[in-house]
Amino acid sequence: MGTTATAFGLDIASDAELSFLDGASTMPSGRELSVSVQPEGSARAGWPEDSALICDERTPDGGVNFRIESHPDSGYLISGPEYGAHLLSADGSHLTCFPEGLDEGAWQRLLIAQVLPFAALLHGLEVFHASAVVKDGEAIAFLGPSRSGKTSLALELCGRGALFMADDVLAVAVREERLIANPGSPVAGVDRELSPSRDGASEERVVAVNARERMVRMAGAAEPAPLGALFFIDRHADGPERPTFTPSTDAQMLLAATFNFVLATPARLLGLLDVCSLAAQLRVELIAAGLGVSTSQLADAIEQRLRSPR
């Protein structure tokens, strides 16, 4: 049994079941990615010794979280001790996954969090460090650092009728001078410290749990949607008791919002500039809020803001 799905703007055809893509969009994008899962064997077998380490993300205690190695002919090796290994071709058209004895909740977590977004970049899309929902036919993106509440806010709005589009990584494409947001995996990573009543994610939808988060299945958007607004979340101890919105014209803030700083080819950088130029023409606002502002209050403020003219 395999998997056929469209996620992150890619038409994915896998020879094995990818449960984290269950319920993903099936609307073709024309960007094909074939996936092969190798339960036995190692990605290191045949991987060139002269590859370059281009990313080495560490855990707070100094251990390896995940690494990305690159070779001009062999492509990219994305791996982590708790996530298995994934070998992505240089053009992003083929992916081989090596679970390395880990359960699917572990190796598929890296698949949707890092590997598929990287493949989307290789296919010419851009990726923002954002969670997103679809509301009134437009994608609304929430950006900010890790643990700023992007996912909780998206889930709160989904509980109010919005459609879930992406958790933490939003893939966008340019179509006729408009930015089009693409659904990611219909799974959200929710901090384990949050109760189901706070994040709107009921326990029966939990598909995997690790030391940091619960992976929760969502009813995802069935098709891409035009990007309508980007809200940058700024929560800090001395923030206002009621959320305040400030239109932003800071180009650097948009450029820094990309999810991936590793791929720095001239074509990718030019594409990033084009995407940010189009994004700057949309509603781009900074939301300031104190730590005491609840997710529900923040969602109330955003819904009210979206009803107001730019």
The structural domains of the chain, ordered by start, are 3-123 (no CATH), 128-306 (3.40.50)
- Least confident window among 49-58, 59-68, 175-184, 194-203: 194-203
pLDDT given at position 192: 62
Q: Which two tokens stand for residue 9?
A: 């703007």
pLDDT of 199 strictly over 50: no
Amino acid symbol at 239: G
pLDDT given at position 225: 97
- With H, G, I as helix, E, B as strand and everything else as coil, classify residue 167: coil
Model confidence, pTM: 0.93
Mean pLDDT of 223-248: 94
Q: How far apart are the C-alpha atoms of 45 and 28, rounded to whole Å? A: 34
Contact present, 6 and 24 (Cβ < 8 Å): yes
Contact present, 271 and 126 (Cβ < 8 Å): yes
Instruction: Name which residue leads in pLDDT, 136 or 212.
Output: 136
CA distance to 128, 241, 293, 295, 308, per residue, from 246 (Å): 20, 15, 17, 19, 13
Mean pLDDT of 179-188: 95
pLDDT of 194 strictly over 60: no
CA distance to 98, 130, 165, 305, 307, per residue, from 168 (Å): 24, 5, 10, 22, 25
Burial 104-138 (b: 16+ CB within 10 A, else e): bebbbbbbbbbbbbbbbbbbebbbbbbbbbbbeeb
Instruction: Name which residue leads in pLDDT, 214 or 100.
Output: 100
The angle, 0 to 180 degrees and rounded to 10, between the axes of the packed helices 150-158 and 295-306 is: 70
Q: Which two tokens stand for residue 108?
A: 């598929």
pLDDT of 138 strictly over 60: yes
Burial group, residue 187, by CB count within 10 angstroms (0-12, 13-18, 19+):
buried
Describe the chain by its helix, strand, coil percentages, rounded to 5: 20, 40, 40
Of the pLDDT bands very low, low, confident and very high (cuts 50, 70, 90), residue 261 is: confident
CA distance to 136, 238, 286, per residue, from 154 (Å): 15, 24, 16
pLDDT of 197 strictly over 70: no
